[in-house]
Amino acid sequence: MISLLLILISALFFVGIVTKLKAKIAARKMPSIFQPLYDVIRLFKKGTVYSPVTSIIFKVAPILYFSSILSAVFFIPFAGEAGLLSFYGDFVFFAYLLAIGKFLMIIAAMDTGSGFEGMGANREALYSMLVEPAFFILAGSVALFTNNISFNELFANLHISTNLSYTIGIASIYVLFYIAMVENSRMPVDDPKTHLELTMVHEVMVLDNSGFDLALIHIATWLKFAIYGSLISNFFIKSDWNIYEQIAIYLGVQFIFACLVGIVEAFKARNKMNKNPQWIIVLSAIAVVTFLTALIITQKITLH
């Protein structure tokens, strides 16, 4: 339960911290950290407009997308304590919960019949397909290293104490960070503030969403960021610490994660569209190195 509460709290502030830091770096007047929350509240108060060419798929997709992300939150452990839902191989179910939500948004974009939204959906599907191996190879590496196959046991038995195990920890955090950027269509894969349809990915997919539906999509994005921040925080939090220390480290990691997102978006240019697939595949290559490191540590292979 504490994991769920912390993720919900983190999600409320995450995008606000990113926006505020980017404004500070650009020497612009900084908005309130609560501005994204105010924007979502305003959207909830507005009516939802549907194109006459759309079907029921477009109308239910935002709700199901949000529900799938919220359901994925239930699997996230905290400091050795299992999430509300936990079972062997639950990280596979977790990954496909996120994939179901992404699939629903893709077919909803195609349901509009818009060439631009179909183009964005095509890119979203490609990038998700390319980043998926990185997550599973990484999860398999940690599973091999800890000899466990559930989220809770993966982190509860993760002991980083040697140089090779540090390699696993650092590479895992790096890959998770950029998986979060790809899954949320942020820099360097996509620019969330662009207004040119030809270069947009996620934003062009939701051009026809409005009001309540658009608010749910925004909140789901916040939750996805907080989910990946929670996974990263589990590499730092020890189960034998007291609860106050655990919560402090968790919030600190989430804050640093948000700051890093803001710094990357402020200083890193967006990749050219034709370079994105190669860049994403590099994440899988790093995950493979992590897997080989886990094989060496567990003595599944030996170096002579």
pLDDT in tens, 238-287: 877 888 889 999 999 999 999 999 998 888 878 888 888 889 899 999 99
Q: Say how far apart CA 35 and CA 88 lie, in whole Å.
A: 40
Q: List Cβ neighbours of 137 (8 Å cut-off, separation of 6 or more).
A: 284, 287, 288, 290, 291
* Residue given tokens 């040697």 in the structure block: 162
Phi, psi angles (nearest 5°) of residue 125: -65, -40
Reading phi first (left if > 0) and then psi (alpha if -120 to 50, else beta), residue 76 is in beta
- Between the alpha carbon of residue 115 and those of residues 112, 120, 127, 225, 265, the distances in Å are 9, 9, 19, 29, 28
Contact 175, 287 (CB under 8 A): yes
The pTM score is 0.90
Question: In the prediction, which pLDDT does 219 show?
Answer: 93
What are 105-118's pLDDT values in tens digits?
Answer: 999 988 888 878 88
Rounded Cα distance, 138 and 300, in Å: 17
Biggest alpha carbon distance in the chain? Answer: 67
Helix axes 56-73, 90-111, angle to 10 degrees: 160
Of 283, 268, 176, which is closest to residue 224 (Cα–Cα)?
Answer: 176
> Among 136, 127, 168, which Cα is nearest to 279's?
127
pLDDT of residue 254: 93
pLDDT of 113: 83
Q: What are phi and psi of 191, to 5 degrees?
A: -105, 110
Q: What is the pLDDT, as a whole number, of residue 215? A: 92
Structure tokens at 53: 């060419």
Pairwise CA distance, residues 175 & 156, whole Å = 20
Average pLDDT per consecutive 10 residues, the chain (304 residues; last block may be shorter): 86 90 84 87 89 89 93 87 81 90 90 84 88 90 82 75 74 91 85 72 82 91 92 85 88 93 86 86 90 77 56
